[in-house]
Structure 1
Amino acid sequence: MSNQLSQRPHRNFYGRLKGKALKPSQKAYLSEDLTALSPGAVDWHTNPERVPLDLAGLFDSRPVWLEIGFGGGEHLVHQAESNPDIGIIGAEPYINGVAMLLGKIRKAGVENLAVHPGDARDLFDVLPEASISRAFLLYPDPWPKKRHHRRRFVTPEHLEPLARALKPGSVFRVATDIPDYVRQTLEEVPRAGFEWLAEGPKDWREPWGDWISTRYEQKALRECRTPHYLTFRRKD
């Protein structure tokens, strides 16, 4: 492959990479645990040719789920504990959230997780086609200003590679408390090759049966915003 093709593409990144100072314990989680949990093939320095991830080797041939932007990791660890027969990859560029997740992984003792501490688009570059069985996008950054809507995840730049990575028939769940994010999601996700699985209002007003409320949802409820739970299926 030529140098031009193997070079990392220029991608604007919007949002925080780091917040307040990390606690000593969180620094220890990052230095002691993160490398072993990270799928190394995502790193552009070690895999400039973008050789696809060996998901079968990573998770012992178990089905693989993906959470995009896991925040503090509550939902990711909950799903890993509840589904030991699957493997889950979490992608999150906010290092404070990554440190929080690592602490939860230690406490829970789950071993079916992998962590990509960076941009989900880099992960999409190395996910094999039709390799992911379920995906989650839970309370993503709303980018409320209209001129910033192109920064949202529910745009072709993100949805097209996600659709490529998902198996036909797999489920994509989106949770948000922002009405305009709901509107854009319902417009853009079907265009990327998904169908919305809703037959009535309860299908987007009530959480999924295996749901665990996250800190972002609790904040939305305190501020009197209404959560929406949208379920899509990847078309054949």
Structure 2
Amino acid sequence: MSEDSQDQVQTEWRNFYGRRHGKTLRDSQRVYLSEDLATLSLQGVDREENPERLPLDLAEVFGGAREFWLEIGFGGGEHLVHMAASYPEIGIIGAEPFVNGVAMLLGKIRAAGVTNLAIHPGDARDLMDVLPEGSVAKAFLNYPDPWPKRRHHRRRFVTQDHLVPLARVMAPGAEFRIATDIPDYVRQAVQEVPKAGFELVAQGGEPWADWISTRYEQKALREGRVPHYLTFRRR
């Protein structure tokens, strides 16, 4: 690596907040990670393998996909696999740094047999650095980490540090969906997302027609919290 490339890698280093590992993985999940992850992981996202941050060739990744979607923080993968099965003509990328979630997703992919998914097992910001401009037709942010303490609100995804890169990779007219059970997250999303180049087109308690309730939503309902669904469109 040249000195210029090394400087670039250093310059682009960023803080990451949140968990990467949880409870001990089951034996089957270890098998999924060892046998399936390398095949499904996007190549060219990590800075060490792509120091110049060249754009990914999504047509090469997904073959004849009609368009490309992105899920940011897919949790256990229920929604991601559901959408892949429902829309086999779409190439869908899931970004998730939590290893346990990645392992759960890989098990669901095996069970469902879907073939139109790719995974970035890391920070979504690194992925957005190398997605081509205007390449994403739809993006999903489902039950993101709420960071409830006020001093931690800057760590939420709905800040300009995350939203501006997302807006860059989304096509004009592209849809950005957010599902959350945290009223203050709704407030911040309504306030911040339009600043990055989106317009709010719908919000309320009714989910989208193709929505599948996730484990995080079920937990929220059990604990008495009310889901809220927001739809933005890229201007």
Which interval holds the TM-score relative to the shorter structure? over 0.9
- Asked whether the equivalents of residues 19 and 96 of structure 1 are also in contact (C-alpha less than 8 Å), the reply is yes
For 2:29, the equivalent position in structure 1 comes to 26
The yes-or-no answer on 1:54 pairing with 2:57 is yes
For 1:151, the equivalent position in structure 2 comes to 155
Q: Distance in 1 between matches of 2:107 and 2:146?
A: 26
After TM superposition, the score normalised by the length of structure 2 is 0.96
For 1:111, the equivalent position in structure 2 comes to 115
The structural deviation recorded for 1:61 is 4.0
The structural deviation recorded for 1:5 is 2.5
Q: Distance in 1 between matches of 2:118 and 2:11?
A: 22
The structural deviation recorded for 1:75 is 0.1
For 1:221, the equivalent position in structure 2 comes to 221
Residue 188 of structure 1, aligned match among 170, 173, 192: 192
Superimposed CA distance per residue, residues 192-213 of structure 1 (whole angstroms, 9 cap, x where no aligned partner): 0000012xxxx42100000000
The yes-or-no answer on 1:230 pairing with 2:223 is no
The yes-or-no answer on 1:5 pairing with 2:8 is yes
Residue 139 of structure 1, aligned match among 137, 143, 146: 143
Q: Distance in 1 between matches of 2:208 and 2:61?
A: 28
The structural deviation recorded for 1:7 is 4.2
- Asked whether the equivalents of residues 91 and 119 of structure 1 are also in contact (C-alpha less than 8 Å), the reply is yes
- Which residue identity lines up with residue 187 of structure 2 in the other structure? R
The structural deviation recorded for 1:42 is 0.5
Residue 81 of structure 2, aligned match among 69, 77, 92: 77
The structural deviation recorded for 1:6 is 4.5
- Asked whether the equivalents of residues 139 and 175 of structure 1 are also in contact (C-alpha less than 8 Å), the reply is yes
The yes-or-no answer on 1:43 pairing with 2:46 is yes
Q: List alignment gaps of at least 5 residues for structure 1.
A: none
For 2:105, the equivalent position in structure 1 comes to 101
For 1:64, the equivalent position in structure 2 comes to 68
State the Cα RMSD in Å: 1.1
The structural deviation recorded for 1:47 is 1.2
- Which residue identity lines up with residue 170 of structure 1 in the other structure? A
Q: Distance in 2 between matches of 1:189 and 1:85?
A: 28
> How many percent of aligned residue pairs carry the same amino acid?
70
Q: Distance in 1 between matches of 2:146 and 2:60?
A: 35
The alignment partner of 1:153 has SS state of coil
Q: CA, structure 1 residues 164+188, in 2 after alignment: closer, same or farther (shift >3 Å)?
A: same
The yes-or-no answer on 1:211 pairing with 2:211 is yes
- Which residue identity lines up with residue 78 of structure 1 in the other structure? H
For 2:128, the equivalent position in structure 1 comes to 124
Q: Distance in 1 between matches of 2:11 and 2:116?
A: 29
The structural deviation recorded for 1:127 is 0.4
Q: Distance in 2 between matches of 1:219 and 1:51?
A: 40
Residue 170 of structure 1, aligned match among 148, 170, 174: 174
Q: Distance in 2 between matches of 1:217 and 1:226?
A: 9
